[in-house]
Amino acid sequence: MTKGLHLYDIIRRPVITEKSNIMSSEANQYVFEVDMRANKIQIKDAVERIFDVDVVKVNTMVMPLKRGRRGRTFYVRQRAWKKAVVTVPQGQSISLFNA
């Protein structure tokens, strides 16, 4: 891992939405907000160590910032963030999402 990123700094929070609940129950895929500097190898290592599961695949995407407008000026409503979709094998699950 890089000097600036610790194991617990890579994964920021789980993303719990209706779509992510469907993904976790049907396809064994779990969605996390991760640090912008983290790559797929670091995300895979962090999920395997923290949640004690095997990771089959990691997909990442950068969600763009959302801008608002008041008159002629633009402002940032929501900052950009990185999302990771982690796939685990069929028999395993992450108990954090079952609550």
Domain for residue 97, yes or no?
no
pLDDT tens, 22-52?
Answer: 999 999 999 999 999 999 999 999 999 999 9
For 25, the domain range is: 7-89
pLDDT of residue 91: 92
Does the pTM surpass 0.75? The reply is: yes
User: CATH number of the domain that 33 lies in?
Assistant: 3.30.70.330
What's the total number of domains in the chain?
Answer: 1
SS3 content of the chain, % helix, strand, coil (to 5): 30, 35, 35
Segment 61-66 shows an average pLDDT of 95
Beta strands at 57-63 and 81-87: parallel, antiparallel or unpaired: antiparallel
Domain for residue 61, yes or no?
yes
| 55 alpha-carbon distance from chain centroid | 13
Domain for residue 55, yes or no?
yes
Domain for residue 96, yes or no?
no
Centre a 10 Å sphere on the Cβ of residue 31 and count the other Cβ atoms it contains: 20
pLDDT of residue 1: 47
Domain for residue 42, yes or no?
yes
